[in-house]
C-alpha cells in the first residue's frame, strides 16, 4: 500500500505575522498539518504561563511548527544555491521532520512535562506519535523519522532540525520576541540562513555570518532570563504544577474531580515511563489533551471543597500569583524555615501541606555548549573552527558557562519573613 495524497489538498499559503505569507509546499505536508495530532498544537501555548507577564504571548505550538518549517525551506534553498545536492525526497523529509518535531508537547508546553506522565519527555512522545502517523501514511515518513532520530548519514539535515543553531531555535527566538514585545530576542535569522553551508556533510556557518550568530547566542541568553525563566513566570508555572498534583492526590483518595475525559484519565491513573509504553491507550488519551482541558478544570476547581486546591486555582485565575524571589546564591535553611513558619502561621497549614505553599527550585541556563553539535565557522580557506575559537567577542566563552540561580515562591500575604528574621538578629 502507498499513501495517496488528497486531490483537494493543493498548495496553500498561511499568513504568518512574523514572516508574512508561508507556503505549504505540497499536498502531503498539508495532509500532515490537517492530522488531528498536529491540529492539537493550535490549543497549546508556545510559552506556557508567560502571558501572565507579557500579555501578548498567546501564540501556539502550531504557529511555531509552521514557522520552523518555513525557515527549513529557506535553509534548503540557500544550501542548494551553494551547490549542495539535496533531492526532492530529502527536502520533503526535512520539512516533515521539523514540522512534527514538537508534536509530542503536552498542555502548557514544558510546564507540565513529566507532571502528567512521570519520566516521559516530549521528545519521546514526538517520536512515538511520528511512528503512529507513519503507520497511517503507509511508511511515507520513514526518511523524515530517520533524519529526526539522527540516523541519516548526511548529518546536516538533523542539525537543521535539532542543534545549537537549528531552525527550531531560530523560529522560537524570533517568534517569542515578536509576541512578548521583548526586542532583545530579535535575531537576524535571514542573515544566518544565508550564511549556512555544508562541509563534510555537517552544517557550518560562513565566516562573514559570525556576528549574526554571536547576536543569536546573546539573544538566546537574554530571552531565557527575561522571558522563559522570568521569576513571575516560573512561580506561576509551579502553582499550575502544584494544583495538578493536588488534584491528582485528591483523585487518588477517592474525590470526585471535575475533569474532561482525557484529563480524568491522567488524574486517576499513575502513569510512568514503564507502564506508558506498555499501554497504547495512554498515548491515545494524551493526543486528546491540551491547554483547554487544564484551564477548564482550574476554573471549576476554584470552588472545590479542598481549601488548598481552591486557593491555588483561585489565585491562578485572578493572577494573584505567589511572590517569587530569585538569588544567585542558594537560600539558607534558616531563610526557608522562616518562610515556612510564616506560611504555617498565616494559613494554618500542616508541615505535610507546606509543599503546596512554598516551593524552592534551581534554574539554570547556558546559551551555548561546546560539544559534538557545536556551531562551526568555516573561513575562505575551508578551515573549520568552533565559534568560541573563531570569534573575537571576548565574552562569548562566558556565554558557554552554565549560569545557576535559585528561586523560592510563596504567597504574598506573608511578606518577606526571612528579612524580618535577619533584622531581629
pLDDT of residue 11: 73
CATH architecture of the domain covering 12-229: Orthogonal Bundle (1.10)
| Predicted confidence band of residue 420 (pLDDT cuts 50, 70, 90) | low
Specify the range with the lowest mean pLDDT, choosing from 223-237, 303-317, 382-396.
Answer: 382-396
pLDDT of residue 6: 58
Q: Are 84 and 71 in contact (CB under 8 A)?
A: no
pLDDT of residue 425: 46
- Taking the CA atoms of the chain, what radius of gyration do you get in angstroms? 23
- Of the chain, the percentage scoring pLDDT greater than 70 comes to 94
The ranges assigned to domains in the chain are 12-229, 234-321
By C-alpha distance, which of 316, 338, 331, 334 is closest to 361? 331
C-alpha dihedral (29, 31, 32, 37), degrees to nearest 10: 160
User: What count of other Cβ atoms lies within 10 Å of the Cβ of residue 44?
Assistant: 22
| Predicted confidence band of residue 372 (pLDDT cuts 50, 70, 90) | low
Average pLDDT of the residues of the chain: 92
Higher pLDDT, 299 or 113: 299
By C-alpha distance, which of 292, 320, 314 is closest to 246? 314
Specify the range with the lowest mean pLDDT, choosing from 3-12, 33-42, 85-94, 388-397.
Answer: 3-12
By C-alpha distance, which of 50, 63, 314 is closest to 182? 50
| Predicted confidence band of residue 423 (pLDDT cuts 50, 70, 90) | very low
| Predicted confidence band of residue 389 (pLDDT cuts 50, 70, 90) | confident
386: cell is: 568552533
CA distance 28 to 330: 52
28, pLDDT greater than 90: yes
> For the domain bounded by 234-321, which CATH number is listed?
1.20.1250.30
Taking residues 234-244, report their average pLDDT. Answer: 95
- Determine how β-strand 376-378 pairs with β-strand 202-206: parallel
CA distance 300 to 309: 11
Amino acid at each position: 500500500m502507498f499513501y495517496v495524497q488528497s486531490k483537494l489538498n493543493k498548495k496553500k499559503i498561511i499568513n504568518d505575522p512574523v514572516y508574512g505569507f508561508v507556503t505549504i509546499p505540497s499536498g502531503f505536508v498539508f495532509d500532515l498539518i490537517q492530522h488531528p495530532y498536529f491540529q492539537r498544537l493550535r490549543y497549546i501555548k508556545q510559552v506556557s504561563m508567560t502571558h501572565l507577564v507579557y500579555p501578548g504571548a498567546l501564540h501556539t505550538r502550531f504557529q511555531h511548527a509552521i514557522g520552523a518549517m518555513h525557515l527549513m525551506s529557506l535553509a534548503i534553498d540557500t544550501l542548494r544555491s551553494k551547490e549542495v545536492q539535496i533531492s526532492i525526497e530529502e527536502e520533503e523529509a526535512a520539512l516533515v521532520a521539523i514540522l512534527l518535531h514538537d508534536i509530542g508537547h503536552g498542555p502548557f508546553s514544558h510546564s507540565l512535562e513529566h507532571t502528567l506522565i512521570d519520566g516521559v519527555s516530549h521528545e519521546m512522545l514526538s517520536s512515538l506519535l511520528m511512528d503512529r502517523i507513519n503507520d497511517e501514511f503507509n511508511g511515507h515518513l520513514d526518511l523524515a523519522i530517520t533524519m529526526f532520530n539522527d540516523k541519516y548519514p548526511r548529518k546536516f539535515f538533523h542539525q537543521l532540525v535539532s542543534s545549537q543553531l537549528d531552525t527550531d531555535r531560530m523560529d522560537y527566538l524570533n517568534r517569542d520576541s515578536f509576541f512578548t514585545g521583548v526586542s532583545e530576542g530579535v535575531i537576524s535569522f535571514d542573515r544566518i540562513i544565508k550564511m549556512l553551508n555544508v562541509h563534510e556533510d555537517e552544517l557550518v556557518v560562513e565566516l562573514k555570518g559570525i556576528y549574526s550568530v554571536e547576536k543569536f547566542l546573546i539573544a538566546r541568553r537574554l530571552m531565557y532570563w527575561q522571558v522563559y525563566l522570568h521569576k513571575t513566570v516560573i512561580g506561576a508555572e509551579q502553582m499550575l504544577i502544584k494544583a495538578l498534583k493536588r488534584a491528582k492526590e485528591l483523585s487518588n483518595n477517592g474525590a470526585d474531580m471535575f475533569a474532561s475525559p482525557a484529563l480524568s484519565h491522567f488524574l486517576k491513573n499513575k502513569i510512568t515511563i514503564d507502564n506508558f509504553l506498555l499501554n497504547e491507550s495512554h498515548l491515545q488519551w494524551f493526543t486528546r489533551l491540551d491547554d483547554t482541558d487544564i484551564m477548564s478544570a482550574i476554573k471549576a476547581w476554584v470552588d472545590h471543597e479542598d481549601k488548598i486546591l481552591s486557593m491555588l486555582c483561585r489565585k491562578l485565575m485572578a493572577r494573584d500569583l505567589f511572590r517569587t524571589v530569585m538569588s544567585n546564591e542558594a537560600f539558607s535553611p534558616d531563610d526557608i524555615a522562616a518562610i515556612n513558619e510564616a506560611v504555617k502561621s498565616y494559613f494554618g497549614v500542616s508541615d505535610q501541606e507546606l509543599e503546596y505553599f512554598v516551593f524552592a527550585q534551581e534554574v539554570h541556563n547556558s546559551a551555548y555548549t561546546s560539544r559534538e553539535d557545536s556551531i562551526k565557522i568555516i573561513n575562505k580557506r575551508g578551515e573549520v573552527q568552533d565559534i568560541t575559537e573563531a570569534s573575537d567577542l571576548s565574552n562569548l566563552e562566558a556565554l558557554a558557562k552554565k549560569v545557576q540561580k535559585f528561586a523560592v515562591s510563596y504567597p504574598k500575604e506573608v511578606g518577606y519573613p526571612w528579612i524580618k528574621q535577619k533584622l531581629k538578629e
